[in-house]
Amino acid sequence: MREYKIVVLGSGGVGKSALTVQFVQCIFVEKYDPTIEDSYRKQVEVDGQQCMLEILDTAGTEQFTAMRDLYMKNGQGFVLVYSITAQSTFNDLQDLREQILRVKDTDDVPMVLVGNKCDLEEERVVGKELGKSLATQFNCAFMETSAKAKVNVNDIFYDLVRQINKKSPEKKQKKPKKSLCVLL
Amino acid sequence: MLSIGALANIKHTLQKELFLAAGERLLSVVTVVKKKDKKPCYLCVVTTAPPVPVVTLVLVKQSEQRESEYKRKRSWQLDEIKSVDGRNEQFETHEFDLQLEKLYKWYALNLHERQNFLAVLNRQIQKSVRGQRAEFRNVPAAWLSEKSPEKVALGRAAQKAEHIDDDEEDEEEEAQEFTALTDKEANELGKLFSECDFAIKDAEQFIEQLSRELHDLDGANIQSVLASEQKVLKMMEHIDNAISEADKFETRLDSYEDILGHVKETMEKIGGKNAMIEIANNNNIKLMKELNKVISQLDLPHSQQQALDEPDLKTANGRKAAIAAAQCLQQAMNSDIDPALLRLEAVQDQRKRFEKWKQKFSATVSRFMNNLFIHLGNEIGDMPVTSTDLTLPNHSNVHRELTPYTELMHWTKAMDRKTYDGLMRVYTASLSKIYDRDVRNFFNLAKMQVSEKLRSSREDLDMSTSSRKSAVSTIPYGTLGINRDQWGPGVESADRIRFDALLEKVLAELEPIALQEQLFCINFFQMDVISPTTKNTQTTLEMEKAVDMSQSAVLGTAISPSAEGVPQKRIDRQINEDVRKLMMGLFGCLEPELVSFIQSFERVDSFYSLYVLVRLTQHVMSAQDTHSFLSMTFASALVQVKRNFDRFMQQQLQSIREAKLHKRSKAILPYVENFENFAQTAEGIFRKSDRRTDMEKWYLQLVNAIFEGIHLHSQEHPKTPSQVVRMENYHHMYALLAQLKVPGLDALKKDAKSRYNEALKAYVTQYFGRPLEKLNLFFEGVQQKVAQGVKETEISYQMAFSKQELRKVIAQYPAREVKKGLENLYKKVEKHLSEEENLLQVVWHAMQEEFIAQYNYLEERIQKCYAGAMINLEFNIQDILAFFSDIARSH
């Protein structure tokens, strides 16, 4: 089974963990606990093929920015999350994308731009058009999601798997490493 | 005031009453009052009828007795009027004076009347007075012209009395045809008549004489015409002379004019010159000002030049002078001079001189600071480290030593970026040596303290359990899936508290040192200002930009770094990045040392990642400056600890899944037993932590895995029945979860309870079974018959279920036998159940309940089907209770 290393990035409090946990465990976590780093594995079927997703849920708070280079080096596909209720989280993504392209040293990186918390329509400050145009600029997929209302959550990851498949079609089936943990 | 209508009316009245009788006509009237007596009277211009109209001015008064009676008071000929004074040309003037034999002052009641009166009076005077005419003063000129607008206005106003108006118009025209004879003509005519006084007698003779005279006159006239020709010629001559004279005069005038023209031109030229001189003067003044400005800006006093040439940076005074001079130089080099002026050679020269000074001074500063940094680095580096305390040395003395040079560094940053960068590198290299050594010592000491503790606790352990020495295995202490006696050595919770305290001390020790160094660097290297990287040597025209940039840099220092909006965020980020890079250079070994220190715990205590996670999180999440070097270093270490934590938990999970049962395994499975200790340790660490969520996530996974394990292992347990394994383990888990009170595990706690109850029920059902088996079978047969339609009361008539048969079956269960059976059962249960769980009483009680239920059922059946037969079991409920309690007590 092919393994897909997916990294979820974005500013603090945009709902990276909520999206990930909703996808992996089908639970909505209401409480906010800043993540340090969590990794999850989930097997899904995409286009008739079994895939093992290794999802790395990262910290959004500023202290942990030094780790990002490493995440970007190891990840194959990236979920860039902002909250439609906070403009600054949207603005931060530009730098994040540039960093990914720099680390990967290519313009073509599987990526999905995600505007989360779309259930909070009355608190919206980032318009959907704005998100779309940023995605056009990034040349990547875009969706507005809600981890709470379970809107578009699975699509993020399925889309990313398809992007990875398209970019690098499966060659030889190597036996992937079991553990996600990094030995220090 | 009288209205126009009234005016017309009074005119009409006067005409009718007074003048008509005398054949006179009233041309104009004005109602006036004299100043003294208020009674109004009327001034009228009256004319007699044609052909020879005589115009007079009449003053009419109203009779005092009878209102309708008017009297002529006085009248004057028009030539008696010497002057008329309107007093004021304003229309609103009521007064007017008439100079007759004396001065009359009138006050007209109606302004229109007054106007009309004056106009008519004037016209009549113009028309009929010869010789000296009355002078009109202060009367509007328009009134005095024939077609005065007032007349038209009057005509319009008097439209009511149109017919009167028409008459008046006609008569006025008639009057105009008459022209008075001039005085001269009158005299001539008089003389003529007097010479020919006979004419009246003989007109024919008179005519003849007249024609004769006319003839004579004709001839005389011709003669005189002829005679006048000479005079005319003479006159022509005179005129010609006059013309030539005039021509001469004109040429002279022309020449004068020419001269004047020259003068004018000259004057204009002089004026222009004067203006030019003035402009030149102004320009000179401006130039002077500009030059003064340039000179004052570019001038560097001699004393300062000296200070720059041979700076004395060692003494405070020398430093002060050097800094002041350097700042003056900077100011001069950045002075705001018009770009055009920069082409001046003097300015260029001065700039070159500046440049030389700058380079020389910069080189001196660079050399001096360089030496100072290296010296300070070596000085401290040479000091032996003897401290055995776990403290990180404080280098504020270095900072103190360097602080006086702060302004020099700022100067260097602004003026000579290359030198500044070089100095920064030297500083980093010198200081990083010291910090490197300090940090390594510090962590070595800390690690030593860890291993000391390890040794002391290990010795205790070894002494108490020397037998296990051989069995020191690779299985880490606390592994859930493995029996306790196979674990490697571990530590007590007291040790953990000591380790935690040690870690806290290490972190707390690092924070102030790093913060102090960071603050010093920001200040000393002016890192909170992004200065232009371009040089400030303004020898070319490019310097305009440079000036702008350096000005913005100066601005930047003046204004706090939150002056601008969005780009400020970027600037901040850049500053943070720079500071972090510098700190990274200074404390390069901190992160690996910290990580290695943290990992030194791992060898001692497999649970280390739990409390290190909690402790480090406190420091990382509570940090104010989340972007600082130390915060990010700690954060990186934290991520690694978190990974170790997850790995540890993953291993625990795995150990549960892979746990194997041995022949001598106890009923309580190892992971269930170990989980208690594990959970209590974890709770002790996480109880008040923000990271509870991380732990609870794993609790869920672990407990679920344990439940799965219990289910799996209960089937393959060597000695104990699976129901008992399940019952005891679930009961254990339930008790533990109830005691832990972890909110996230509430659902699993309930789950454990129901699983336990289920297992208990299954066990009782299986092993208690039916001790009165035959009786049960007998009544099952009875029930079948009843189901086939036999009445319950008629059951006893059936052969197989007669009273005798029932008695026979009952006789097989005497009380003694029943008790014996129960005793055997008790022994079996006792053997099944483990002592630790202490569920024997619970199970026994459950069995007693079961037995009573079965007994009650049978009794009820007997009463229903064999009522009145006086059949009973050989023991009653009291007996059963006694059996159970006797058995339980006796064991």
Q: How far is the alpha carbon of B480 from chain A, nearest alpha carbon, in Å?
A: 20
Residue B6: what pLDDT?
Answer: 59
Within-domain flag for A182: no
Within-domain flag for A180: no
Residue B560: what pLDDT?
Answer: 39
Q: How far is CA B75 from the centre of its chain?
A: 96
Within-domain flag for A178: no
B627 vs A: CB within 8 A? yes
Interface probe, candidates A7, A21, A92, A184, chain B, greatest B C-beta count within 10 A? A184
Q: Which residues of B touch A64 (CB under 8 A)?
A: 632, 635-636, 638-639
User: SS3 for A24-54, per residue?
Assistant: HHCCCCCCCCCCCEEEEEEEEEECCEEEEEE
Contact A181 B643 (CB under 8 A): yes
Residue B7: what pLDDT?
Answer: 60
Q: Answer yes or no: are the C-beta atoms of B608 and B601 closer than 8 Å.
A: yes
The Cα-based distances of B120 to B18, B29, B105, B335 in angstroms read 20, 9, 19, 89
Residue B490 makes CB contacts below 8 A (sequence gap 6+) with B477, B478, B605, B606, B607
Within-domain flag for A38: yes
Q: How many CB atoms lie within 10 A of CB B653?
A: 18
Residue B67: what pLDDT?
Answer: 67
Radius of gyration for chain A, computed over Cα atoms and rounded to the nearest angstrom: 15
Question: Is the peptide bond preceding residue B814 cis, with omega within 30 degrees of 0?
Answer: no
Find the helix or strand (DSSP H, E) in which B40 lies.
none
Contact B639 A65 (CB under 8 A): no
Residue among B389, B388, B399, B408 at smallest CA distance from B435? B399
Q: Answer yes or no: are the C-beta atoms of B615 and B647 closer than 8 Å.
A: no
Percent of chain A with pLDDT over 90: 78
Phi then psi for residue B108, to 5 deg, are -80, 135
User: SS3 for chain A, per residue?
Assistant: CEEEEEEEEECCCCCHHHHHHHHHHCCCCCCCCCCCEEEEEEEEEECCEEEEEEEEEECCCHHHHHHHHHHHHHCCEEEEEEECCCHHHHHHHHHHHHHHHHHHCCCCCCEEEEEECCCCHHHCCCCHHHHHHHHHHHCCEEEECECCCCECHHHHHHHHHHHHHHHCCCCCCCCCCCCCCCCC
Whether the CA torsion B599, B601, B603, B607 is positive or negative: it is negative
Q: How far is CA B678 from the centre of its chain?
A: 54
Q: Which residues of A touch B654 (CB under 8 A)?
A: none
Query: How far is it, in rounded angstroms, from Cα B172 to Cα B101?
Result: 29
DSSP β-ladder status, B24-34 and B103-108: antiparallel
Interface probe, candidates A27, A63, A64, A94, chain B, greatest B C-beta count within 10 A? A63
Contact B643 A34 (CB under 8 A): no
Residue B272: what pLDDT?
Answer: 93
The amino acid sitting at B428 is: T
Query: How far is it, in rounded angstroms, from Cα B557 to Cα B301?
Result: 26
Q: How many domains does chain A have?
A: 1
Q: How would you class A156 by CB atoms within 10 Å of its CB: exposed for 0-12, middle for 13-18, buried for 19 or more? A: buried
Nearest residue of A to residue B640, measured between CA atoms: A184
Residue B184: what pLDDT?
Answer: 72
- Class of the domain covering B10-151: mainly beta
Query: How far is it, in rounded angstroms, from Cα A25 to Cα B221?
Result: 150
* Token pair in block for residue B819: 């008790």
* SS3 state at B72: strand
Q: Which residues of A touch B632 (CB under 8 A)?
A: 63-66
ipTM score here? 0.87
Contact A63 B599 (CB under 8 A): no
> Within chain B, which residues score under 50 in pLDDT?
1-3, 148-150, 153, 155, 157-178, 460-472, 533-565
Q: Answer yes or no: are the C-beta atoms of B647 and B599 closer than 8 Å.
A: no
Q: Which residues of A touch B694 (CB under 8 A)?
A: 33, 36
Q: Answer yes or no: are the C-beta atoms of B553 and B414 closer than 8 Å.
A: yes
Within-domain flag for A184: no
* Token pair in block for residue B634: 């700690």
Residue B112: what pLDDT?
Answer: 82
Contact B595 A37 (CB under 8 A): no
Dihedral of CA atoms B512, B513, B519, B524 in degrees, nearest 10, equals 160
Q: Answer yes or no: are the C-beta atoms of B670 and B482 closer than 8 Å.
A: yes
Query: How far is it, in rounded angstroms, from Cα B558 to Cα B552?
Result: 10
Across the A:B interface, residue pairs with CB atoms under 8 Å apart total 60
The residues spanned by each domain of chain B are 10-151, 302-453, 478-532+569-655, 659-768, 772-888
Within-domain flag for A39: yes
Residue A4: what pLDDT?
Answer: 94
DSSP B46: E
Domain of residue A64, CATH code: 3.40.50.300
- pTM for this structure? 0.66
Q: How far is the alpha carbon of B606 from chain A, nearest alpha carbon, in Å?
A: 16
Contact A61 B690 (CB under 8 A): no
Q: Which residues of A touch B636 (CB under 8 A)?
A: 64, 66-67
Q: Answer yes or no: are the C-beta atoms of A11 and A89 closer than 8 Å.
A: yes
B320 vs A: CB within 8 A? no
Domain containing A139 equals 2-167
Q: Answer yes or no: are the C-beta atoms of B328 and B304 closer than 8 Å.
A: yes
Within-domain flag for A177: no
Interface probe, candidates B573, B610, B693, chain A, greatest A C-beta count within 10 A? B693
Residue B806: what pLDDT?
Answer: 85
Query: How far is it, in rounded angstroms, from Cα B867 to Cα B310?
Result: 133
Residue A57: what pLDDT?
Answer: 95
Whether the CA torsion B210, B214, B215, B216 is positive or negative: it is positive
Query: How far is it, in rounded angstroms, from Cα B273 to Cα B504?
Result: 90
Contact A39 B646 (CB under 8 A): yes
Contact A31 B647 (CB under 8 A): no
The Cα-based distances of B151 to A115, B114, B124, B853 in angstroms read 94, 12, 14, 144
Contact B642 A33 (CB under 8 A): no
Q: Smallest Cβ distance to A36: which of B623, B639, B647?
A: B639
